[in-house]
Structure 1
Amino acid sequence: MGSAAGGTDPFYSDAVLYDRLFAGGEEAVAFYRSEADRRGGDVLELGCGTGQKLIPIAADGHACTGLELSPAMLARARHKAGERGVEVQWVQGDMRDFSLGRTFDLVVIAANSLLHLHDAEDIVRCFRAVRRHLAPGGRLVFDVFNPDVRMLARADGVRRRRDALSYVDPDRGVVHVDVAETYDSLAQVTRGTWFFSTEAQPDFLVAPLEVRSIFPQELPVLLELGGLRVVERFGDWSRAPLTADAALQIYVCEAD
């Protein structure tokens, strides 16, 4: 998840920590590489974070541009691309309002990055900006989680250990992650506090993270308001149909 409107949040100030916390994602990387191969041409990723998706796409030979609000994330992305000998144009900017002076054959918003935009108006602004940057026949492809109302109802503000998020820091050792979340049903925003701890350093980082939920009935309407329409939508990285119990919503869109 790259940053969008919250690029200076503490959660994104340590880009190395971010990469360790959100390591993996091979299926998602393979999906977006496949989409780039299908479309050909130039690729733009919004909220590109540290380049987890974009650097492999660029390594396949595609001309890539990454837009990211967080300077720390961009610096990490540049470093990683340099290590791999891959050329990417990195741009600091806000996905709600950007103008790159050119168009792209594929625009990607991966790893829930769209969910940093909490207001419907901001989401529509983002889609309109994408529309302006789509080449004829171009596509917007993005993924967001499929909200689970049972999970949202359990967001009661109690701090709990997330064992699946534990990781090893070469300097600190094993890092455990606790999360306390509440759900604002009016705003459709989950407001969380993430606590990072080791045995020797409890709570060495405490960071807020706020993420919007966008329900499947909403997205086509928001896309239409942004001048886009849905071509396909999937419920997982194998391109299975979107169902009520799917964990993901993956959209392929074109200019309306």
Structure 2
Amino acid sequence: MHWYEDDDLWVGFASVMFSARREAEAAELVATSPLLQVAAGTRVLDLACGPGLHVVPLARRGAEVTGVDLSPAMLDRARVACERAGVRARLVRADMREYVDPGAFDLVISMYTSFGYFTDPDDNLRVLRNAFASLAPGGRLLVDVLGKEVLASWVGRPQAVDVEGGTVFMRDTILDDWTRLRTDWTLVRGDTVRRASIVSYLYSAAELRALFEAAGFSDVECFGDFDAAAYDNHARRLIVRGTRAS
């Protein structure tokens, strides 16, 4: 079983991945980011939507949101989040390597480094091609990851993050000549210790731009944050946006 198929991982580390701080950040980004502005009726696909951190605020703004995730537990949490917020969204359990809904969306998003899960780079390209096929002409794909250039400034420094009832210790390791990143997590709560490792594919801005173009996207742009700042030495993220011209 690959790490992303393990529901115990998603549930066990949900307090780290999907904290209250991150939930508030997602709502703020949807409200303020020029890259995430949607009009009422905009058809949005959130790939690897998790517990609905972006699904809910996008739906609140009147978007018609579809959330796709492989994890039943995360989709259950997304349903509860939608119910609590009084919004409606379509939630689908599917592998993003397989999910295609031709021409059904105006915007496809992949947030919080949910792109690059697959060891085979052809599978990651397949995800982009599926997104391209699922967009209507003029629609856009937005992918948010940690680019190699950003990672290089801090990767390798152990981190400790306090969570409810415990602490998570994180250590990052670069693999295969800067091709992949392994993040090892250790969650300590009292006498209980839980460990997990996540391995994802790494991209520079130039590499991810080329991948977008290989998938058929045009007008590909790279940004360094959700305020649409340039991707330069001050970048905090690597955000790539491409358009399906026809």
Query: Shared fold (TM-score greater than 0.5)?
Result: yes
Counterpart in 1 of 2:182? 191
CA distance in 2, matches of 1:22, 1:146: 25
Per-residue deviation, residues 55-84 of structure 1 (Å, max 9, x unmatched): 110011111100001111111111111111
Q: Per the alignment, in what secondary structure is the counterpart of residue 22 of structure 2? A: coil
- Deviation of 1:102 (Å): 5.0
- Deviation of 1:187 (Å): 6.5
Q: Per the alignment, in what secondary structure is the counterpart of residue 197 of structure 1? A: strand
Task: Flag as ranges the 4+ runs of structure 1 deviating above 6 A.
Answer: none
Counterpart in 2 of 1:123? 124
Change (3 A) 1:230 1:120: farther
Task: Give the alignment partner of residue 191 of structure 2, picking from 159, 181, 201.
Answer: 201
Which blocks of at least 5 consecutive residues in structure 1 are unaligned?
none
Structure 2 residue 39 is matched with structure 1 residue 8 = no
CA distance in 1, matches of 2:27, 2:179: 28
Under a length normalisation based on structure 1, what TM-score does the superposition of the two structures give?
A: 0.83
Structure 2 residue 241 is matched with structure 1 residue 252 = yes
**1:145, 1:249 within 8 Å by CA — same for their partners in 2?**
yes
Aligned-residue RMSD, C-alpha: 2.5
Task: Give the alignment partner of residue 243 of structure 1, picking from 211, 215, 232.
Answer: 232
| Equivalent residue pairs, number | 239
Which blocks of at least 5 consecutive residues in structure 2 are unaligned?
none
Counterpart in 1 of 2:92? 91
Q: Which amino acid aligns with 1:151?
A: W
CA distance in 1, matches of 2:205, 2:176: 16
- 1:3-82 to structure 2, matched below 5 A, reads 6-8=4-6, 10-14=8-12, 16-18=14-16, 21=19, 23-24=21-22, 26-33=24-31, 35-37=36-38, 41-82=42-83
Change (3 A) 1:22 1:207: farther
**1:13, 1:70 within 8 Å by CA — same for their partners in 2?**
no
CA distance in 2, matches of 1:124, 1:39: 30
Q: Per the alignment, in what secondary structure is the counterpart of residue 209 of structure 2? A: helix
Q: Per the alignment, in what secondary structure is the counterpart of residue 64 of structure 1? A: strand
Counterpart in 2 of 1:167? 163
- Deviation of 1:142 (Å): 1.8
CA distance in 2, matches of 1:39, 1:250: 24
- Deviation of 1:202 (Å): 3.9
Change (3 A) 1:209 1:74: same
CA distance in 1, matches of 2:201, 2:19: 20
Per-residue deviation, residues 175-221 of structure 1 (Å, max 9, x unmatched): 111123322134711223211112x2241x21121122211110111
Counterpart in 2 of 1:176? 167
Change (3 A) 1:227 1:39: farther
CA distance in 2, matches of 1:5, 1:197: 20
**2:7, 2:72 within 8 Å by CA — same for their partners in 1?**
no
Under a length normalisation based on structure 2, what TM-score does the superposition of the two structures give?
A: 0.86
Counterpart in 1 of 2:111? 110
**1:15, 1:72 within 8 Å by CA — same for their partners in 2?**
no
- Deviation of 1:129 (Å): 0.3
